[in-house]
Structure 1
């Protein structure tokens, strides 16, 4: 019998791991489980939408609207999550008054910024749809306008949700990942119970109600985790703000570029004709389950640990742990790609092929999904190095790499879409993540030689 399959050998290897590796592994397992449950709810939601609406104009309008509504808030959420968690880890050593003051100010400004985003979106919706709509029909564009009006609360609540999630993650509690399935669950119920195939009302109320429930639930759990009931404040008195503004301002530049990738893809795919936005969307939803269980899990598991190591001043240990986990995620992903490629068509048929979603749609979505798998190894590994840089406050490096990666993506879209249609879009995404991972590894190794 091979020694690596013996239980005593496995137990010995596990006991030999450092506490940092065990903390990351334990958190990653929990996050992966929560992601599986959450993405399963998302898959059920997609099954319901496919059953009621197929790949028609309503799905095109919904996905375009959701992308535009969440673009700016999602950019801010990514920045907040990356910048806030190290700050909240540091604040654990401060008195409760300082922590409550900072959280109150943070929630107050999150509300104001969310309202600002919603107002800008409402005022600029016409030009945005005109630019992003491509060759979509006038009916689809008009439907998008109606969806936007009903889904505006999402843009306001997204920032508040991210603040509560950061409070939980800074305590290495990852139930926020599980609660990300709430909007999918409410949309699933609304679509099945009230969807008629021609009405967009279930999509509006199902999505918006889900975000409201998610916010309220997270708020309760965050208060239990840190014992703080912050009151809304609209001042900037906390001593954490100089660090937050500097880090967020620099990193925001990179995230604006990276979060522009989804609208960029929507722009290119919309010019391929009606139905293609929905086809790519279904393929991406299935891929999101795989990416979430790997990349999202390791990303959320590593940042609190790296931040804790940084507070102790041991940069060498943090880099060593990060490089090992990068290798584990990169090479481990090939097993995922292999099995996902084999069973892709069966999975998509099981998930979507019913009602308005026909067999030919299954074949097309599975084809795009297989091409999408090229990005998985790079997407799994890059977040580990990104979180290492975030824990060390190297936001200029992160912003520079993000901007460079976006230009790689835009250039590859221009070059590949004309030859490979929608396949060019997914290959361009793989090139973007590959360039990002390469840049992070180069920076980490150079910093290691300089220390």
Structure 2
């Protein structure tokens, strides 16, 4: 091995960034194993039944809402927290964290109430292919999952706070409480498993997730009463900047994260079970993304934010290239394996009980198209964290809406010939274009800042 490469690996192996990535990757993989145990149990009990179709569509709404809200305030909070801690100290940064969490909780309450009130209209508009009984079930499931939005959304905000302080252990481990609770609920239900069993497990698991994050954050805060009085009475001056920067990310998140809802809604127009088939395919792809894109985003984001706060543009560019190259190189072999071994993988993971060989064939066909999104998704995720650290809010907004329009257009074009597989291929094409555009834009912004 060449001496420069040996030196780079030796420095990287002992760095906090690499150790943080390994820790988050391992814990995320453990969480995915738990989640797949849950998915296998769901496949055994419900297969691709109408009841599961309704639950997965409704759960997609809440996943979309959580992704949008997590892409607003938390995204703008992390760079501001890093800059405030660097320049003013930890106490001022902690005050900003408390006030952002309180504001985020208020937004979640408002969104949950709005979803509960508009549930019949939302379900009727997005489930054109559902029967009336299936639509009625979806309305009830949507209202039953409203507490999940509040608990899970606030826990994500607190997790962003912990990761901004480079505390990755609990933030990476606590989300597995949700699938653990779902598995527990299904085991307790025995042969009476239904969509409502999944709802109860999801809600109780998200409540446990929030409790764990609150306990972790509270231990990091000052105990002095005078600090709390100051925090509750006086707004942190940087809070206004965080809220102002959060709005473009929030609007952009509505467009970018709505791709999942658009995909599921358009899949509902196809043959029965298409929503569930698309969902199972996404879960398989999530195995690779869980140990690449997820840990990379969690660990690299605070490092990118610190480099921006220090105005270290050369270091930022170098870290972007190095991180993206290493992670994408590791993901490519996994992508090829998913394509080649798709039927075998789906059979091992899901084929039991109500999930039969025909379902395996349908999911494997979609998976072969969906797997190619993995390297582009990782590259786009890493580059997007750089863009957020640079507060390139206008670019993120334009990219998000462009991706939404392109995704819906390609879905409509490809699903007519390929069915659910066409929706998966559309997603791959969109991720490819977004990744390339985001990388080029980040490099241009860094070059401008160097020149200034």
Give the structure-2-normalised TM-score. 0.91
Q: Which has the larger displacement, 98-107 or 43-52? A: 98-107
Identify the residue that residue 62 of structure 1 maps to in structure 2: 55
Structure 1 segment 74-85 matched on structure 2, within 5 A: 74-85=67-78
Alpha-carbon shift at residue 216 of structure 1 (Å): 0.2
Q: Which residues in structure 2 correspond to 1:411-426 (within 5 Å)?
A: 411-426=409-424
1:291 Cα shift?
Answer: 1.3
Tell me what 2:278 maps to. 280
SS at match of 1:55: coil
Q: Does 2:184 match 1:189?
A: yes
- Partner of residue 210, structure 2: 215
User: Whole-Å Cα distance in 2 between the matches of residues 234 and 112 of structure 1?
Assistant: 15
Residue 318 of structure 2: aligned partner: 320
User: Structure 1 residue 71 and structure 2 residue 64: aligned?
Assistant: yes
The separation in 1 between residues aligned to 2:240 and 2:206, in whole angstroms, is 31
Equivalent residues in 2 for 1:212-291 (5 A)?
Answer: 212-225=207-220, 237-291=235-289
Q: Structure 1 residue 25: deviation in Å?
A: 2.3
- 1:226-282 deviation per Cα after TM superposition (whole angstroms, max 9, x unaligned): 557997988771112222122111122211101111110111100003211111111
Q: Distance in 2 between matches of 1:368 and 1:290?
A: 16
Deviation at 1:97, TM superposition (A): 5.0
Change (3 A) 1:131 1:228: farther
* 2:32 counterpart of 1:39: yes
Give the equivalent residue in structure 2 for 1:367: 365
Shift of the alpha carbon at 1:214? 0.3
- Deviation at residue 126 of structure 1 after TM alignment: 0.8
The whole-number CA distance in structure 2 between the counterparts of 1:439 and 1:358 is 41
Q: Compare 434-443 and 22-31 and name the one that shifted more.
A: 22-31
Aligned partner of 1:91 among 79, 84, 90: 84
- Is the partner of 1:148 in helix, strand or coil? helix
Cα distance in structure 1, aligned partners of 2:127 and 2:368: 26
How much is the aligned-residue C-alpha RMSD, in angstroms? 2.4
**1:407 equivalent in alignment to 2:417:** no
Instruction: Name structure 1 gaps, 5 residues minimum.
Output: none
Matched, 1:357 2:355: yes
1:140 CA drift (Å): 1.7
Structure 2 partner of 1:124: 118
Kindly indicate whether residue 147 of structure 2 is the aligned counterpart of residue 149 of structure 1. Answer: no
Residue 260 of structure 1: SS of its match in structure 2? helix
Counterparts of 1:317 and 1:141, CA distance in 2: 53
- Cα distance in 2 for partners of 1:147, 1:312 equals 48
Comparing 198-207 with 243-252, which one deviates more in the overlay?
198-207
Which piece of structure 1 moves more, 377-386 or 145-154? 145-154
Paired positions, count:
444
**Contact in 2 for aligned 1:283/1:369 (Cα 8 Å):** yes
The 10-residue stretch of structure 1 (156-165 or 207-216) with the greater mean CA deviation from structure 2: 156-165
**Change in CA separation of 1:97 and 1:304 when aligned onto 2, cut-off 3 Å:** closer
- After superposition, the Cα gap between the structure-2 partners of 1:52 and 1:228, relative to the gap in structure 1 and judged at 3 Å, is farther
How far apart, CA to CA, are the structure 1 residues paired with 2:201 and 2:75? 29
Give the distance between the partners of 1:33 and 1:95, measured in 2 at CA.
32
Q: Contact (CA 8 Å) 2:73, 2:104: kept in 1 or not?
A: no
CA contact (8 A) 1:250 1:399 kept: yes
Q: Deviations over 1:369-416 (max 9, x none)?
A: 121111111011111111111112212122222222222212211211
Query: CA offsets per residue over residues 191-250 of structure 1, 9 Å max, x none?
Result: 122053563331121110000000001111223345579979887711122221221111
Q: Structure 1-normalised TM-score?
A: 0.92
Q: Is the 8 A contact 1:52 1:197 kept in 2?
A: no
Cα drift, residue 144 of structure 1: 1.3
